[in-house]
Structure 1
Amino acid sequence: MLLDSADRDTTQRSAGGSAAARPGLLERPAIARLRANRADLLAGLGYLVLATAVLSGQWRDTDSGYLIKSGQDQTMWEWFFAVTAHSVAQLESPLGTNLQNFPAGVNMMANTAMFGVGVPLTPVTLLFGPTVTFVLALTLGLATTAYAWYWLFARELVSSRAAAAIGGLFCGFAPAMISHANAHPNFVALALLPIIAGLLIRLARAVTDAAPRNRIRDAIVLALLVAAQIALGEEPLLIFALAFGLFVVVYHLHEPRQGARVLRALAPTVAAAAGLTLLLTAVPLWWQFFGPQSYRSIDHGPMGNDLKTLVQFPSESLGGAWAPGQYVAINETEQNAYFGWPLLLVLTATVALLWRDRVVRAAAVVIAVFGVLSLGSVATVGKRPTGVELPWALAERVPLLNSVLETRLTMAAVPAIAAVFALASDRAVASWKQSAADWKPLAWFTALTFALVPLTPTVLPVTERAPAPRFFTDGAVRQYVDDGSVVVIPPPRPPDARALRWQADANFVFPLADGYFVGPTGAEKKGSYGPEARRTAMLLVKAQDTGAVPPIGAEERAAALADLRYWRADVLVLPTAKNSDVLASAVTQLLGFAPARVDDVWIWDVRALD
């Protein structure tokens, strides 16, 4: 999208328009500016309405509603926002906390706590609760991401606001975005990425047009944008940087000298921006990579897209309701491809017809490269490995890349697809203006409808969340906690993290043993979801899952005592749960004394234990 003056003129002529018709090239009269502003307003309002509709189920019930397909991720994110607000209110650093995984604690910077949302929305969290912050971040994330790409397309790529709106619509509401809207605001709030791209494009254009710019100002603005994106999500920034870099290289392949000139001219500004970014983020980044509970990398196992995910429809879409395919996603929140076969057909034909356009060629390469990388190390079809080794087998050995879920690389293709569709739509609109009888624009928009209608998102389903035990919400827990932790039976973990919400509902008056987070394990400090497994926690989980008390002898009792000492436990709490009677019997046998009933839970006060 780094269009120089000549390329802009060529693009406009090929679209049936003139360079003067291109927005931003010449000063417009007041009426034209008013129309443009009205179009921008309508686009933004439309995106906001659609985002609100997608999340309307959660908006209708922010007290006890829960996005059912989020697994335990909504609980985790709400805890992140709640504990960030608590830290800010207490004038404490939000970078780390021991309120979870006590006493070792949690490195919040290494857990994508999204301080760019949690800190500024602290008043919202404190006044209305973390669920409101969570659904607000998702809603505004979808709408602003769509609008930011619309803004970029309208000002740098196409003349037609309608064409730009189509591109923005796909960027904000693509299947991957809707899937992540179940649980991952860090992969939904991506509005800064097109803003960063727009700034780089303007810097490059200034080089080709020999237009003067204030390099110091540009470096400061770029640094602030990148630092802000780091506070929102580093993994999306990494994927965007790789994709945008590839796009730029391919875009300049036919004129490498010009590309080299742009690179030389931009290098000082970008280098200065990088240095400023490091200064701005030095403390949080040091904490993330070298601070307490930091880790080196995450062993997440094979996380590539199945080939079927490219042609099937996402579950939360009209196409998914009409023609559901084999379930081959990693989980409900990682449907990062699912473009559907109609879109792939239309996209392939469009790329072939517009291949001479530099933007289309560069976009096509990004789509192909990141589509292949997203398949992982070995291609699978219908969850069956084919044995065909893919390029990711080499890429995953690169530091930082080895912590990326390869399925998410497909998201780099989303704005590239949107750019192709926006360009084709822009040409169709221009042709229609020249001749209302021209059949080609009608054919294009019919094909586009065929591609996009099956991907129309549906309302994300919501279930009712059980209320927190009164023992926590009415303050009774305070009587049983001195300076140690509360051990919920069984301890919270990634498959069941409800205790994190109970702790937030109790206003963080106690720390929790174990939890749902990413932290280091073993001597190599590799990242793992949840704490290192302790013997007592595993015994209790087994008892709950099997419905039978495992054999308990002197060895198990000694291990339980050691684990309680490690957790610095003050009280064990058993709320109503699956196989509660079995869990009560197991804990009683481990400790040697019966529990007491307090409010709606059973407790074992262990403060007197040696």
Structure 2
Amino acid sequence: MRLAGCDTLRRVPARLLTIASYLAVSVLLQRRVLGDLTGSAIGRVSADATGFTWWLAHTAHEFSLVTDLQNHPTGINALWNTAVPLLGVVLAPITWTAGATAAFDVGMILGPVVSGTAAAWALGGIVRSRLARAVAGGLYAFSPFMLAHLQAGHLNLVWAVLPPVLLGLAHRLFVRDLTRPWVLGALTGLALALQAWLYTQTLAVGVLALLLLALVLAVAHPRRAAARLPGLLRAGLACLGTVALVAGYPLYLVVAGPARPQGPLRSPDYGSADLANTLTPTWVTLLHGVTPAMQGNLGEQGGYLGFAALLLAVVALVVGGARARVAVAVGALAWVLALGPRLYVGTEPVGVDLPWQALLHVPLVAEIEPVRLQVVVVLAAAVLVGLALDHPRERPEDGAPVRSRDSGTVRSRLPGRRGTVRGYVGVLGGALVLLTWLPADAQRVTPATARARPALAGEVVEVWPRITSRWYGGPDALRDQIASDFGYRLSGGYFLGSDPGNPVLTESAWNPYQLGAAWVDLWPAPAPPADPDGAAADLRARGVTVVLVTGPASPAVLDWTARVTGSAGEWRDGAWTFRVPATLQR
């Protein structure tokens, strides 16, 4: 007599082996950081790595979603930034013991592992072979999309867990017997709510993907959709209730919270995928040539599919089963949306308007960077590869029913030699996709050094050179604040938000002191058309008590700062410190 839990127990070692293999690949790709987890950050650029590190440290220091530690006195809204508070809590033990940079690096290594594991789980009701599911999950975990965001230091996007989790839940909601709609709805709501605590743009992408899948299935099977509608309505109510309960506050901060942007963040064309990227591999994959210029930065050039993936999609659409055709349809719709409102080829617009135009005036949705929908495209490609590798002699298609050994669901089998040939063709196509998506040994790290400034405890600090969003070194002063255990506040910062004089900011606004410092540094003669008294009044109005001049400061900047503050300055902790008195005697 076979015990009911034996199959589950037998699957545990296989699942652990799958996770271990993903972890081994991730560690191998990021091995350059292993010798210096506290002093180096994963990624070719420093800006976003610094930003994520700051937020991880901030969450471990104080769990607040509105803070004035940057952009004092207005502050910043965490939910309009890449604060990843859920990860901040999960990684807090590492932050407390080894520091925020180590926590960031560990998060970057684990992100693809958890994402790939979620994808392998999601395919449990779709793909029969455990090996095929493991390969498809690995393809998703180390897809060109994921590799590109690893290069850019995008911690929020390499934790791409929600799309596959929604796929697994959607299969239970839309395809399997809907026996417990309230429970499934609550689980879906919990997944969405947790994503709200991780990164809201991926939440929006996940909701769009779920709607696309529901639309495709409703069009393909209208009678079945109508029959399931009552159960889906109950699941929807449970989903919305769970989201409101678990993520009501962060969603409030997005919609009506303080210090949020008061207008469009970017041009509508920003964040559009480049059509050339679909067939042009970049240096993140092993097989690549000279990469031409393309729309977007290096972190947004992860949309490579290649001829093998496109051919596999065409074959699946023509001769594949229902699951394959649904994956192709959803992937194709997401791919079109990822191209944004206008078609770009090699950085140039070609005058073709695209469906994203219809979303440009939808509140909040319009703020999504369309290129981020590529995560749905690569997930659809991973599903196709999983189906292609799934037992070529017994392909689950629209034929005689056969019960799955793993999931207990009823499958179908395409009989005869014709089915076997199609199966092996699918295996060949899947293998070619794997070959063309193999990651290159191109992952890099950047220095993440900092200097503690204990003498600034309790102060509000203006920093020169100013904190900017430049990818290389722009927000480095944030690391000094972390090293000082947030002992002082910064009048500037690197963030998305606003202040009373600027409805939209991507970094702190230029102020009179900074304008004067830039003038004397670049054009020291003749006398600068700047007003030191006005600059001093502005500093006092914003509550600044110290001006900190770091780096190889020019004599002209030091002289200007002395005139503004009325202080001779003091060399301390590797920088010039100028105190700003409450009143100045001139």
TM range (shorter): 0.7 to 0.9
User: Which residue does the alignment assign to 2:364?
Assistant: 400
Distance in 2, Cα, partners of 1:539 & 1:405? 36
Tell me, in whole angstroms, the C-alpha distance in 2 between the residues paired with 1:169 and 1:60. 25
Aligned to 2:561: 587
Report the Cα distance in structure 1 between the residues aligned to 2:184 and 2:221, rounded to whole angstroms: 25
Work out whether residues 144 and 191 of structure 1, in 8 Å CA contact, stay in contact via their aligned partners in 2.
yes
Per-residue displacement from partner, 1:243-266 (whole Å, max 9, x unpaired)?
222122212323212112212211
1:194 aligns with 2:133: no
TM-score w.r.t. structure 1 length? 0.84
Candidates 331, 336, 341, aligned match of 1:377: 341
Which sections of structure 1, spanning at least 5 residues, go unmatched?
1-26, 89-93
Q: Given the two structures, how large is their TM-score scaled by the length of structure 2?
A: 0.87
Cα distance in structure 1, aligned partners of 2:369 and 2:284: 21
Q: What is the aligned partner in structure 2 of residue 9 from structure 1?
A: none
1:32-43 equivalent positions in 2, closer than 5 A? 32-43=7-18
Partner of 2:61: 86
Aligned with 1:477 (options 427, 434, 456): 456
1:253 alignment partner, SS class: helix
Q: Distance in 2 between matches of 1:114 and 1:168?
A: 23
C-alpha deviations, 1:51-99, integer Å up to 9, x for none?
A: 22222222331122133423400000000010111004xxxxx111111
Residue 225 and residue 450 in structure 1: after superposition, are their counterparts in 2 closer, same or farther (change >3 A)? Answer: closer
Q: CA deviation at 1:101?
A: 0.8
| 2:479 equivalent among 501, 512, 519 | 501
CA distance in 1, matches of 2:3, 2:287: 42
* Aligned pairs (5 A) from 1:245-284: 245-284=211-250
Confirm or deny that 1:184 pairs with 2:154.
yes
Q: CA deviation at 1:434?
A: 9.4
Contact kept, 8 Å, 1:336 with 1:411, in 2: the verdict is no
Identity of aligned residues (%): 27
Please identify, of 119-128 and 168-177, the stretch whose mean Cα deviation from structure 2 is larger: 119-128
Match of 1:7 in 2: none
The aligned length equals 558
Query: Contact 2:148–2:299 (CA<8 Å) still a contact in 1?
Result: yes
1:450 and 2:432 equivalent?
A: yes
Q: Give a deviation string over 1:218-271, Cα, whole Å, max 9, x none.
A: 444333332212111221121122122212221232321211221221112221
Distance 2:292 2:480 in 1: 37
How many Å separate the matches in 2 of 1:542 and 1:316?
Answer: 41
Provide the residue aligned with 1:66 in structure 2.
Answer: 41
Deviation at 1:466, TM superposition (A): 6.2
Cα distance, 1:35 vs structure 2: 4.2
Structure-2 residue corresponding to 1:529: 506
**1:366 aligns to what?**
330
Secondary structure at the residue paired with 2:197? helix
Tell whether the 8 Å contact from 2:334 to 2:376 is kept in structure 1 after alignment: yes
C-alpha contact (below 8 Å) 2:388/2:423 kept by paired residues: no
- Which residue in the other structure is 1:147 paired with? 117
Deviation at 1:160? 0.8
1:105 & 1:305 partners in 2: Cα distance? Answer: 33
**Pick from 222, 230, 243: which aligns with 2:196?**
230
Map of 1:559 onto structure 2: 534
RMSD: 2.9
Distance 1:68 1:115, change over 3 A: closer
In the alignment, which of 300, 303, 324 is matched to residue 337 of structure 1?
Answer: 303
Structure 1 distance, partners of 2:172, 2:492, is 49
Q: 1:217 to 1:310 in 2, by over 3 A?
A: closer
Distance 1:467 1:30 in 2: 51
1:606 lines up with 2:583 in the alignment? no
Q: Which residue of 2 aligns with 1:351?
A: 317
Residue 277 of structure 2 corresponds to residue 305 of structure 1: no
Equivalent AA in structure 2 for residue 455 of structure 1: W
Report the Cα distance in structure 2 between the residues aligned to 1:541 and 1:268, rounded to whole angstroms.
Answer: 61
CA distance in structure 2 between the aligned counterparts of 1:192 and 1:362, rounded to whole angstroms = 19
Deviations 1:309-352 (A, max 9, x none): 111113222123xx131131411222231223443334334433
Instruction: Note the alpha carbon deviations across 1:523-561, whole angstroms, 9 max, x for none.
Output: 7x75431123323334435666xx443765575323312
Write the distance in 2 (CA, Å) between the matches of 1:255 and 1:464.
51
- Map of 1:160 onto structure 2: 129
**Partner Cα separation in structure 1 for residue 265 and residue 368 of structure 2:** 10
Query: Does the 8 Å contact 2:295/2:346 carry over to 1?
Result: no
- Taking the aligned partners of 2:300 and 2:520, their CA distance within structure 1 comes to 31
Paired residue type of 2:358: L
CA deviations on 1:466-514 (whole Å, 9 max, x unpaired) are 6324xx35x2333xxx5x4111112212121001110000111100111
Give the Cα separation in 1 of the matches to 2:490 and 2:66.
Answer: 14
CA deviations over 1:125-184 (Å, ceiling 9, x no partner): 11111112112222221101101111121x210111121122211221111112222322
Q: Distance in 2 between matches of 1:70 and 1:433?
A: 53
Whole-angstrom CA distance in 1 between matches of 2:210 and 2:185: 18
Query: Are the aligned partners of 2:512 and 2:534 in contact in 1 as well (CA < 8 Å)?
Result: yes
Distance 1:45 1:247 in 2: 31
Secondary structure (helix, strand or coil) at the match of 2:301 reads coil
- Could you say what secondary structure the match of 2:201 adopts? helix
The alpha carbon displacement at 1:113 in A equals 1.1
